[in-house]
Amino acid sequence: MNISRISTIHVARILLALAPITLVACGDSVTQTSGGTGGFAGQGGAAGSGGMGGGSDCGPGVTLCGEACVDTMHDPANCGSCGNACAPGEVCSMGTCSFQCNGGTTQCGQSCVNTASDPNNCGACGTTCSAGEVCSMGTCSFQCNGGTTQCGQSCVDTASDPNNCGACGTTCNAGEVCSMGTCSFQCNGGTTQCGQSCVDIVNDSANCGACGNVCAGDNVCSNGTCALQCSGGTTKCGQTCVDTTNDPLNCGACGAVCAPGEVCSLGACGLQCSGGTTKCGNSCVNTMNDPANCGACGTMCGAGTVCSMGACALQCNGGSTKCANACVDTMNDPAHCGGCGVACAPGEVCSLGACSVQCSGGTKCGQTCVDTMHDPANCGGCGTACLAGQVCVNGACSLQCSGGTTQCGNMCTNTSFDPANCGMCGNVCQGAPNSSAVCAAGTCSAVCQSGYDDCNMNAADGCEVDTQSNTSHCGACGNACPVPANASATCTGSACGMGSCDPGFADCNNNPADGCEANTTNSATNCGMCGNQCSAGNACVNGACVPSQFTFANSQVIDGLTVTCSSVVNTATYTQCNDLLAGGRYFPNGINCGPFWSNANSAYSDTHGFCQSLTGSPNIEAYYTCSATTTRATWFNHVWGTVDDNGYTQHVRCYY
């Protein structure tokens, strides 16, 4: 058996798994509680039979492969699973054979290791910690720093390590994850489940933005995206973007680890938190918006909820915006400037919701624009933090508020105008759709966002109308856009206008006042489209210029009535038979007596409104019934009739 790969910690775990064992002098047998009889070979002796059969538990974090306990996440001979050996030139990185190490690990031989906690490669490949020492933040030491816990010879984060969850050796069961130091079936505190660990995908280079998305090479994970540099006010430390203002492992600068008992507050290790933050473990956090410590240390918001004003809720209040599981002020947050995930570049600040090189109406402190008159973390100037119990009043730390302000927490605020403390501390003004919550004279109200208005006067649905595009409320409530002739109305940029023309019509005079005035289906001057004029001898039929062949003949006068084809068809207006009368029949002197005609039975009306049945009458020569698709271009040799006062029929023929 090749034992060179087994680290000191693995040997220790094997010995612990085999306990209790009684060690005796060389050459004597070894007694154990299980595994049969026999023992190790002594000096000059032989090993007994059996003996090792019961020692199959390698302990947390390692797997039994044959007779060896190995770390399948980094062992090139058993990469990901027993017997899966990486090819020459490959390394084992995060349980996968690859040509380079990812996830913040370092290549040592054919293994990818975490030099921050590996006692066999502590700080650099081959640097082995002595017996009794641990590897803490890449340095062999007698104690763990930076909020980690000693488990064997490693310093681990018991908040997320499924093999040491909450305490060394506490292993989560299959299907469980380690969330905030407790084995659970779901992740809390704004973390995401990746395998059996709950991680922060915002800055985890092994799970950047999503589980398993490993940042390659020297890339870091910044705001959930692999990049060459950090943004949003964070600092690149190795392959991780950290907030050096409160990270006990990188307090003020990369690698600056706070000693046991100290916390990192505003970039400095100390015994207490300042600047309005609260000590939770080794970190100083803002319990007003931290989903892992909401309102108090250890109060975790469940999946789908956010921490808003120190309380877990389904939505953000007090003018803040929900970004993942946190409520942030997008007006000055460099990681969410103007919107979630919009991170300002290095050197820029977030001022009034826009990334800029300078502040507008505030003071630049790092990558944030702050109000140094009231900010307890930057009271009177950048980095001037008020002590616990103090408040910031007009740029000076004080034990009490003045100038008509009220102490709410460690802030002095004007409850007449503060939407987070309106009228009284903790009274948060609730927002409504398309509006911003405001506090006026100690009373909560809402102000509509630009381009929106509350037209139904119902506060429940907020400012429900988009006055920039609503034709019924264009620019203001009740301002309805007029509908142009043969066209649709539009509202663009809060101004009424004319939309598209109805089929068969066009705006040929470019005057929206009269809408789409031209009928392009029969206009001889705008046939089919504006400006298309039919030449002499042609007519516009269905939007196309066609030869006009309509002539008239056999015109006669009876009782002073002139009957011609032109009295039947108005050649200047009508293009289809059914434009004349319902059903397509035309009666100059009477009414339509019936919906249908037939050769066997024809009905007419005289001028007195009396309908006469003239079935088979010899003075009825013929008739014609139009259809919806019959145009006058198809009329020829058809007969139309009129009835005079005496009941006689005059026939008219149309020829062309």
With tokens 């802030």, the residue in question is: 411
The pLDDT-based confidence of 183 (bands split at 50, 70, 90) is confident
**CB burial readout 568-593, b (16+ within 10 A) else e:** bbeeeebbbbebbeebbbbbeebebb
Beta bridge pairs of residue 407: 412
Judged against a pLDDT cut of 60, whether residue 519 lies above it is answered with yes
Residue 300 and residue 425: Cα distance in Å, rounded?
23
Q: Where are the beta strands (DSSP E) in 9-74?
A: 63-65, 68-70
- For residue 531, the model assigns a pLDDT of 93
The pLDDT-based confidence of 371 (bands split at 50, 70, 90) is confident
Residue 257 and residue 59: Cα distance in Å, rounded?
29
Write out the two tokens for 617.
């009458």
Residue 376 and residue 412: Cα distance in Å, rounded?
9
DSSP for 601-636 reads --EEE-TTS-EEE-TT-TT--------TT-BGGG--
Kindly give, in sequence order, each residue whose CB lies less than 8 Å from that of residue 118, ignoring residues fewer than 6 positions away: 7, 135, 154
- For residue 31, the model assigns a pLDDT of 31
Amino acid identity of 430?
Q
Phi and psi for 578 in degrees, rounded to 5?
-75, 0
Radius of gyration over every alpha carbon of the chain, rounded to an integer in angstroms: 44
Instruction: Identify the weakest region by mean pLDDT among 134-148, 420-434, 601-615.
Output: 601-615
Is the peptide bond preceding residue 76 cis, with omega within 30 degrees of 0?
no
pLDDT in tens, 275-332: 567 777 767 777 777 777 888 887 877 766 777 767 777 677 655 777 766 777 777 7
Maximum Cα–Cα distance across the chain: 150
Write out the two tokens for 423.
């009228």
Query: Which SS3 state, helix, strand or coil, does residue 546 take?
Result: strand
Please say whether the beta carbons of 265 and 273 come within 8 A. Answer: yes
Range with top average pLDDT, 332-341, 524-533, 547-556? 524-533
Residue 296 and residue 22: Cα distance in Å, rounded?
49
Question: Helices (H) and strands (E) in the chain — how many of each?
Answer: 2, 51
- For residue 520, the model assigns a pLDDT of 92
Mean pLDDT computed over 107-132: 82
Residue 368 and residue 410: Cα distance in Å, rounded?
20
Burial class (CB in 10 A: 0-12, 13-18, 19+), 13: buried
Amino acid identity of 326?
A
Residue 128 and residue 653: Cα distance in Å, rounded?
117
Judged against a pLDDT cut of 70, whether residue 87 lies above it is answered with yes
Beta bridge pairs of residue 272: none
Percent of the chain with pLDDT over 70: 66
Strands 368-370 and 363-365: antiparallel
Q: Kindly report the number of other CB atoms within 10 A of residue 527's CB atom.
A: 25
- For residue 625, the model assigns a pLDDT of 33
- For residue 60, the model assigns a pLDDT of 56
Judged against a pLDDT cut of 70, whether residue 7 lies above it is answered with no
- For residue 188, the model assigns a pLDDT of 64
pLDDT in tens, 463-505: 899 999 999 999 999 999 999 999 999 999 999 999 999 999 9
Q: What is the DSSP letter of 461?
A: G
Judged against a pLDDT cut of 50, whether residue 589 lies above it is answered with no
The pLDDT-based confidence of 399 (bands split at 50, 70, 90) is low
User: In what side-by-side order are the strands of the sheet with 326-328?
Assistant: 311-313, 306-308, 326-328, 321-323
Residue 606 and residue 591: Cα distance in Å, rounded?
8
- For residue 147, the model assigns a pLDDT of 58
Domain ranges (residues) in the chain:
1-70, 114-156, 157-242, 244-312, 429-466, 487-547, 549-655
Residue 293 and residue 285: Cα distance in Å, rounded?
8
Dihedral-angle region of residue 493 (phi above 0 means left; psi in -120 to 50 means alpha; beta otherwise): left
Mean pLDDT computed over 221-245: 76
The pLDDT-based confidence of 103 (bands split at 50, 70, 90) is low
Judged against a pLDDT cut of 60, whether residue 16 lies above it is answered with no
Residue 189 and residue 206: Cα distance in Å, rounded?
19
- For residue 551, the model assigns a pLDDT of 32
Q: Kindly report the number of other CB atoms within 10 A of residue 261's CB atom.
A: 8
Q: Which is nearest to 111 in space by CA: 134, 67, 137, 77? A: 77
Average pLDDT, the chain: 68
Q: Kindly report the number of other CB atoms within 10 A of residue 359's CB atom.
A: 17
Instruction: Identify the weakest region by mean pLDDT among 36-50, 169-183, 408-422.
Output: 36-50
- For residue 613, the model assigns a pLDDT of 33
Residue 315 and residue 322: Cα distance in Å, rounded?
7
- Chain centre distance of CA 160: 27
The pTM score is 0.31
Residue 111 and residue 74: Cα distance in Å, rounded?
5
Instruction: Identify the weakest region by mean pLDDT among 66-75, 203-212, 332-341, 563-572.
Output: 563-572
- For residue 29, the model assigns a pLDDT of 32
Q: Which is nearest to 336 in space by CA: 317, 321, 356? A: 321
Judged against a pLDDT cut of 80, whether residue 431 lies above it is answered with no
The pLDDT-based confidence of 552 (bands split at 50, 70, 90) is very low
With tokens 């407790």, the residue in question is: 182
The residue with greater pLDDT, 4 or 269, is: 269
Q: Which is nearest to 246 in space by CA: 215, 276, 225? A: 276
- Chain centre distance of CA 288: 23
Judged against a pLDDT cut of 70, whether residue 643 lies above it is answered with no
Please say whether the beta carbons of 626 and 580 come within 8 A. Answer: yes
Q: Which is nearest to 425 in space by CA: 403, 399, 406, 405? A: 406
Angle of CA points 257, 260, 261, to nearest 5°: 115
**CB burial readout 481-496, b (16+ within 10 A) else e:** beebebbbbbbeebeb
Residue 93 and residue 549: Cα distance in Å, rounded?
89
With tokens 């690149």, the residue in question is: 236
Kindly give, in sequence order, each residue whose CB lies less than 8 Å from that of residue 4, ignoring residues fewer than 6 positions away: none
Q: Count Cα atoms within 13 angstroms, Cβ side, for 220.
A: 16
Judged against a pLDDT cut of 50, whether residue 123 lies above it is answered with yes
Mean pLDDT computed over 259-280: 73
Residue 294 and residue 159: Cα distance in Å, rounded?
17
pLDDT in tens, 599-626: 223 333 333 222 333 333 322 222 333 3
Phi and psi for 411 in degrees, rounded to 5?
-115, 145
Q: Count Cα atoms within 13 angstroms, Cβ side, for 380.
A: 11
Kindly give, in sequence order, each residue whose CB lies less than 8 Å from that of residue 503, ignoring residues fewer than 6 positions away: none
Kindly give, in sequence order, each residue whose CB lies less than 8 Å from that of residue 19, ignoring residues fewer than 6 positions away: none
- For residue 645, the model assigns a pLDDT of 33
Kindly give, in sequence order, each residue whose CB lies less than 8 Å from that of residue 80, ignoring residues fewer than 6 positions away: 72, 73, 92, 95, 96, 97
- For residue 274, the model assigns a pLDDT of 62
The pLDDT-based confidence of 577 (bands split at 50, 70, 90) is very low
